[in-house]
Structure 1
Amino acid sequence: MNNSQSLNKVELVTIDEDNVDQRIDNFLVTKLKGVPKSMIYRIVRKGEVRVNKKRIKPEYKLQEGDLVRIPPVRVSNSDEKPGPSAKLTKVSQLEDRILFEDKAIIVLNKPAAIAVHGGSGVDFGVIEAMRALRPQQKFLELVHRLDKDTSGVLLIAKKRSALKHLHDQLRYKKMQKDYLALVRGEWQSHDKVVNAPLLKLTLKSGERIVRVNKEGKASETRFAIKQRYKGATLVQASPVTGRTHQIRVHCQYAGHPIACDEKYSEQKFDDSMRALGLNRLFLHAAQLRFIHPVTEEVMQVKAPLDKELEQLLKQLEKA
């Protein structure tokens, strides 16, 4: 195919909460890796990219539920970044972390310290790794995201119909996500819900951070105490909305930052946790409850805590 590869199928993408308010041109740059920006502007101008079957301008901002038509594009192989090798340790270890798999979905216990997808400064993430492990699988897409430093249940769709079904569940809040977080201090029993709007900000350094701000998007997290320790509490956090860094910022806002959270925690508490061997954010997506996109059965998948987190809890003194 003379040193070019043809992405020769029209792709239809349903926009979820993660891409809301993103400009269509920026969305296409990440979606069509290796395609020059000039070509992206050309296909938008010519009306080959459509949103809800209509022509749009490059500055159009995506809305939740938008259906984006992406035309076939030809890119030169020399511009293509090779995907990760399936033999890489980081990639092959994901195979052992599959909690459930069938023809429609994969449920993974994502390790901490690996991003869900490649991007700014990250060569590859979980989704690229899974594609390397499943080269015969034509369709593999993330249903939702987890922060790089968060471990636990991550859902991947193997069919477009499954992806759409699961995205609808997210949109209509039919998916229940429960996280475990170790937070500083004594979480108060009456603090069962944190309702605080969240705003994404970019600092001068270029670091992206989230703050509680009345200009932000409505955000709600429900909390339950699982175990009290001396100087810390293990809480279950169940987000009702799905904002970036939501649980982390809501814990900080409640006065109980999560252990070893580089963006939102407190040095003294973190130092005491590191002294006990914790070298990562103590936030774990422990279970996910959803409706199977094909069988319509209610599924509840649990991801066990990683050894490092288990070890830490064993060392803490119960209150």
Structure 2
Amino acid sequence: MTQKIGKGVTWVTVTEEDAGQRLDNFLLRLLRRAPKSLVYRIVRKGEVRVNKGRAQVSQRLQTGDVVRIPPVSLPESEEPSMDKVPADQLRLIESCILYEDKDLMVVNKPSGVAVHGGSGLNWGLIEVLRQLRPLAKRMELVHRIDRDTSGCLLIAKKASVLKALHAQIRADQLDKRYLAIVLGSWPKKVAKVDLPLKKHHLPDGGWHVTVDQSGKEAVSFFKVEQHLQGCDLISVKLKTGRTHQIRVHALAQGCPLLGDDKYGDREENKHYRKLGMKRLALHAQFLGFTHPVTEEKMLIEAPLWSDFKRIITELTLI
């Protein structure tokens, strides 16, 4: 399917296995050693072409599409060196696997672990999983969650499984439910937030997201589960899965997430760090989907990490 990628322009013909895949996911698999920011940059600058035309990272590829990949400078080694990953982290990630079969796995991602390496990171969750499961040659992320968010992350081991799960995502058939702690009191009458979101590129390859009528549809459902001291514990069900959706929708209601140093209140967050919550209080608790092979309805729960449980205990009203 591919020539050697790196030194010269490469033309890659999309096969049936990769049909329906987003362009960014397709490139990230082919350019595993390239920083994620580089992949997005070469698409944005028009250096990547699909059927000789400019493309967007969200474009879905079809069988027979011809993708032009420009010369890119890649590190020497194929994968991140695992000797740079502490042994206890390797054991931790192995222990985070909540469900696994020959087709897919679900991992309870720790907060602080990026899903991908690159942008100054030697490794991410997917690179470590590929090392832990070397026979799964087509292992790919089905979706992503923020580096600071913990909880359920779905990984496909086969291209056909990835394609089927992406179809479920496009049809809004994935059941994604989160737990979060917000600063202040959640507005009593607000159960649904339907505000379009727009992503803005940052020089470091990251994103900043704002509510913008010219943005993409974003719908979240919020429910207060428990009133805490100065905070509320809320559950969130997503209809759409936009970047930073929960964080920006909560902020728009005047209730930023505890521990959110990007959109939230940094001074308030300092107080909670002293209580042991040193990260974003957002956890992907449940993930539901239909198994593409067995057709079984799956609902996986990721247990709360100890710091999340501890801060709830610390803030519980007596």
TM-score category of the 2 structures, normalised to the smaller one: 0.7 to 0.9
User: For the structure 1 residues 79 and 266, does the alpha-carbon distance in structure 2 shift closer, same or farther, using more than 3 Å as the test?
Assistant: same
The amino acid across from 1:288 in the alignment is L
Other-structure match for 2:116: 117
Please give the per-residue CA displacement for 1:53-89, whole angstroms capped at 9, x wherever unaligned: xx223x3335543235569999999733542428743
Other-structure match for 1:107: 106
User: For the structure 1 residues 30 and 262, does the alpha-carbon distance in structure 2 shift closer, same or farther, using more than 3 Å as the test?
Assistant: farther
TM-superposed deviation, 1:317: 2.9
Other-structure match for 1:200: 199
Give the distance between the partners of 1:85 and 1:205, measured in 2 at CA: 25
Other-structure match for 2:142: 143
TM-superposed deviation, 1:208: 2.7
Which of 76, 80, 94 matches 2:77?
80
**More deviation in 153-162 or 181-190?**
181-190
Contact 2:110–2:149, Cα closer than 8 Å, also in 1: yes
User: For the structure 1 residues 30 and 162, does the alpha-carbon distance in structure 2 shift closer, same or farther, using more than 3 Å as the test?
Assistant: closer
Give the distance between the partners of 2:160 and 2:204, measured in 1 at CA: 41
* Equivalent pairs, count: 298
The amino acid across from 2:311 in the alignment is L
Contact 1:289–1:299, Cα closer than 8 Å, also in 2: yes
User: For the structure 1 residues 14 and 116, does the alpha-carbon distance in structure 2 shift closer, same or farther, using more than 3 Å as the test?
Assistant: farther
User: For the structure 1 residues 190 and 9, does the alpha-carbon distance in structure 2 shift closer, same or farther, using more than 3 Å as the test?
Assistant: same
Give the distance between the partners of 2:79 and 2:67, measured in 1 at CA: 22
Aligned-partner SS, 2:173: coil
Paired-residue identity, %: 39
Give the distance between the partners of 2:97 and 2:27, measured in 1 at CA: 30
Other-structure match for 2:18: 13
Contact 1:5–1:77, Cα closer than 8 Å, also in 2: no
TM, length-normalised to structure 1: 0.81
TM-superposed deviation, 1:318: 2.3
TM-superposed deviation, 1:206: 6.8
Other-structure match for 1:186: 185
User: For the structure 1 residues 72 and 104, does the alpha-carbon distance in structure 2 shift closer, same or farther, using more than 3 Å as the test?
Assistant: farther
Gaps of at least 5 residues in structure 1 are: none
Other-structure match for 1:255: 254
TM-superposed deviation, 1:32: 2.1
Contact 2:260–2:266, Cα closer than 8 Å, also in 1: no
The amino acid across from 1:284 in the alignment is H
TM, length-normalised to structure 2: 0.82
User: For the structure 1 residues 73 and 261, does the alpha-carbon distance in structure 2 shift closer, same or farther, using more than 3 Å as the test?
Assistant: closer
Aligned-partner SS, 1:183: strand
Q: Does 1:303 align with 2:302?
A: yes
Contact 2:33–2:79, Cα closer than 8 Å, also in 1: no
1:237-256 equivalences in 2 (<5 Å): 237-256=236-255
Which of 44, 56, 62 matches 1:61?
56
Give the distance between the partners of 1:137 and 1:60, measured in 2 at CA: 29
Please give the per-residue CA displacement for 1:123-159, whole angstroms capped at 9, x wherever unaligned: 2111111001111221100000010000000000011
Other-structure match for 2:285: 286
Please give the per-residue CA displacement for 1:195-220, whole angstroms capped at 9, x wherever unaligned: 11111123578763111111211111
TM-superposed deviation, 1:30: 7.5
Give the distance between the partners of 1:302 and 1:29, measured in 2 at CA: 28
Give the distance between the partners of 2:122 and 2:155, measured in 1 at CA: 19
Please give the per-residue CA displacement for 1:194-246, whole angstroms capped at 9, x wherever unaligned: 11111112357876311111121111111111111121001011121111111
The amino acid across from 2:18 in the alignment is V
Give the distance between the partners of 1:253 and 1:77, measured in 2 at CA: 41
Give the distance between the partners of 2:195 and 2:101, measured in 1 at CA: 38
Give the distance between the partners of 2:287 and 2:280, measured in 1 at CA: 20
Contact 1:83–1:132, Cα closer than 8 Å, also in 2: no
Give the distance between the partners of 1:225 and 1:170, measured in 2 at CA: 26
TM-superposed deviation, 1:253: 0.7
1:200-279 equivalences in 2 (<5 Å): 200-202=199-201, 208-279=207-278
Give the distance between the partners of 1:74 and 1:207, measured in 2 at CA: 23
